[in-house]
Amino acid sequence: MTGKAVVFHNAKTYEVRSYLRFTMQAMSRTVTPTQVHALVGRAKFPGPRLAAATGWYETFYDLKNPGGQFMYQLHKLHNTYVRLSPNEVHVSDTAWVDTLLVSSAQGTRDKYGPAASQAGTPQGVFGTSLHNTHRRRRAGLNPLFSKSCAASAEGLIYDKLDLLIQRIDTQIIRDGCADMRTAFMCFTTDIVSEYCLGKSFGLLQNEIEGNEWHKSIRALAKTIPFTRQFNWIIPLSQKIPPSFMRVVSPDLARVAGMHHDMEAQALQAVREHDQDVKTGSKLPFHRNPMEKFAVFRALLENDDLPPDEKLYNRISHEAVTLMAAGSETTASTLMAAVYFILANKESILPRLREEVDSITSTRASRPSTADLESLPWLTAIVKETLRLSTLTARLTRVAPNEALVYRDWVMPAGTAVSMTLREISYDPEIFPSPTEFRPERWLPSNPNLDRCNRYLVAFSRGSRMCLGINLAHAELYIAIAELFRRRDFELHDTIRDRDVDFTRDFFVGETSATTKGVRVKYEKMSRAMANRTLYFFLAPTWDLPSPPSGPIQLGNVITSLKTPERSLYKCPKLDSETFSSSQTRVTFSTEKLRAGRFGLFARFLTMALGLGVDATVAWESNNASRFTFETLETTQFYPDAGYLQACVAAEPVQRYLSKSRYRKPLYIITGLKTVSGAKAESFEAHFVDGSVSPEIDATAWSGVPVGGGTKVGVKVGNKGAVTWEAANDFVFAFRVQKIVVEKKTGAVSGEDYTKGALMDAAIGESNKPKLKIVEEEMDNQVDGFLKEELMDDDQSVLCAIPTFLSGVDIA
């Protein structure tokens, strides 16, 4: 039975053992008897004496702020061969990579234990230490990631690319720019999840879940410097209750949650497989991607794997590895590609578009990966981006059966030896001016092209070369070609040192802690989009007088956009310059129209409504408001760093930050729209049409017995209109900046917060501006519909369902 579960130790016993393990591991980071032979044999090897004596030297450089430090300086101080710890030496010599990272036919290479366990997946291909075990496990996955399988996913990649572009468009229209890092993370994750599991995570269509997934992947990366030293941390975090873990370490809680999610899917796959085998109803598995649970089935139906290799908690490690590696690395490379292309657009972009246009007959064309790979300039861009975004991690290998020789030094069998791929990619002897983006080095005209190709190691080398190289290539070629064929972008507030270059080693490279990410906006529409950026939020109530007597005032510090009248701290005197504009006879209107038709879930109908399985509902909700003001005055100011610092230093603000542990948001009101002579009318309507099976007794919820006919129709209507006038001035809308306070350093910064805003700044515009906002959504799926309505707190459907249950007219 492949679904046999692992029996875990008692939680308290596990905690005690973990504490003991921590103490023993801490002690073992100094010299132990098992290391004496190595120390004697390598006593004259270059490197710090402390590194030869204890593993705490490496630990210090891995964990000191900001975390994930490089160790390149050791080579400058000592030699191309340097000791990092009692059991590991590091070689910085490009040519020697052919000795260390070899194929299975050329030699046996185990993965160093601490390096294998750093991601918390010791039973997956990434975390497997022994060479032969890794080879057996990887063989079960190889067919799923062949070049032909990757080619079969081209339609999937193009479909996700369409959604990616929609997401970017939405963000630019709403926020003025788009964050490419999160967008690409959602893009690659949706692809790899559907490719491996048969069902996309749907992150491109759900911004909240996309942001949460991005945080989970970043959390996994951020824990690497710590788990590399203490690799029992992730397994322990999976045993601790999530509510407690979120308090102790939110990052580890996210990592543990990702493991639990993959375990649940693996367990379901194992149970379905076992049930199919038992009943003889097992469907044929063609070992193709995008089939349900493809990755799990590839392992479960592999006759070369023993039963203990098919346990759900073993194969779940493969899923965690594929989800993390298949999303972060490719997303990071795509982000770098966008930056380097746009930062050098005059010399890069025209040639790229000309090439891609040469193989696309229409704008709707979908060229194959093979066709795109035939384009020399696109290929050069892809390779140069891969070179510049190579992993920062050092790859540590152990030759268990042979001594490795580097120059005059002999490393006995069993010695851990590492190299860093990024050092190879930035070797000036191979790649002149290595920090510069020069795609031309990959063109056939380069006499050293063969040497460049030989040392392009972005996907590693040897028996542990990246499993997903073919899928990653397809994603890179298609995304780069199509993004710049369909859209005209330019960079927005993106600085290479801060937002692109890797400064920390989290296995994958990590940019500065102050990064804002690579952000883009439209080139030809930048000015228009800036004018359309919405900054102002409507006040929750319009019976609040305008300043100076009213509670909503410039400079006030608030904690919620829903209650701007409740200030945490009253503003000091404004030293910053204010800007004002006044307009007369202003018309402002909003309209929200939502409509759709869906078949409700049978379970939902049975449990919640009692309608049975054969039911459909069509719905429409329309909210419209129209305002006319005699005058509308807009006043704004831009707080400088000193003003923000003074606000944060105030005692009420400090108490709030301390109580919330710096986790809850703070805003400062930076703009007000006050109006006089206001007239308004609002219209609201909800309509629901439905049908249910005649077998359902509707008496309980309708008061009317049901009988006859094949269907019972249900109609619900609700509408109303309100008009009003206001003689007094009041605050109609407000603008805010979100205040960000670094807990450790106390640094304070502010940035415009615009999510959910409905009005633009409107300074310098002509009189009688008119603004109409229309939101329209059609043909929602039932789960998306219910979730959206609940999250947005929109009453349209929530009102209809209670009415539907409490009493309706039966047609």
Does 66 sit behind a cis peptide bond, omega within 30 degrees of 0 on the bond before it?
Answer: yes
**177/409 Cα distance (integer angstroms):** 54
DSSP helix/strand/coil, 406: strand
Count the Cβ atoms, other than its own, within 10 Å of residue 108: 17
DSSP helix/strand/coil, 276: helix
Helix segments in 426-543, DSSP class H:
449-454, 469-486, 496-499, 526-532
52 Cβ contact partners less than 8 Å away, ≥ 6 residues apart: 39, 42, 43, 45, 83, 86
Residue 205 DSSP one-character state: G
Structural contact between residues 675 and 635, judged by C-beta atoms closer than 8 angstroms: no
Residue 391 DSSP one-character state: -
Count of alpha carbons within 13 Å of 759, Cβ hemisphere only? 24
Structural contact between residues 236 and 14, judged by C-beta atoms closer than 8 angstroms: yes
**261/244 Cα distance (integer angstroms):** 18
Count the Cβ atoms, other than its own, within 10 Å of residue 631: 15
**763/581 Cα distance (integer angstroms):** 6
**380/371 Cα distance (integer angstroms):** 14
Give helix then strand counts, H and E, for the chain: 31, 23
Count the Cβ atoms, other than its own, within 10 Å of residue 369: 22
**Side chain identity at 63, as an amino acid letter?**
L
| Residue found by looking up tokens 């032979």 in the block | 37
Longest dimension (CA), the chain: 96
Question: How are beta strands 567-569 and 110-111 bridged, if at all?
Answer: unpaired
**Phi-psi sector, 295: left (phi>0), alpha (psi -120 to 50), beta:** alpha
∠ CA 729-561-793, rounded to 5°: 110
**471/449 Cα distance (integer angstroms):** 24
Question: How are beta strands 666-692 and 712-726 bridged, if at all?
Answer: antiparallel
Give residue 688's Cα distance to chain centre. Answer: 37
**274/4 Cα distance (integer angstroms):** 11
Phi and psi, residue 10, nearest 5°: -55, 140
Give residue 119's Cα distance to chain centre. Answer: 18
Angle, helix 312-343 to helix 180-197, in steps of 10 degrees: 140
Which tokens in the block code for residue 502?
A: 């890797």
Structural contact between residues 607 and 783, judged by C-beta atoms closer than 8 angstroms: no
336-347 burial, b at 16+ Cβ within 10 Å, e below that, comes to: bbbbbbbeebee
658 Cβ contact partners less than 8 Å away, ≥ 6 residues apart: none
Is 466 within any annotated ligand binding site?
A: yes
Which tokens in the block code for residue 62?
A: 């891995």
Q: Dihedral angle at the C-alpha atoms of 785, 791, 794, 795, nearest 10 degrees?
A: 90
| Residue found by looking up tokens 């909503």 in the block | 552
Sheet holding 416-420, edge to edge: 81-85, 88-91, 416-420, 394-398, 110-111
Count the Cβ atoms, other than its own, within 10 Å of residue 114: 20
Binding site as annotated, residues for heme: 466
Binding site as annotated, residues: 466
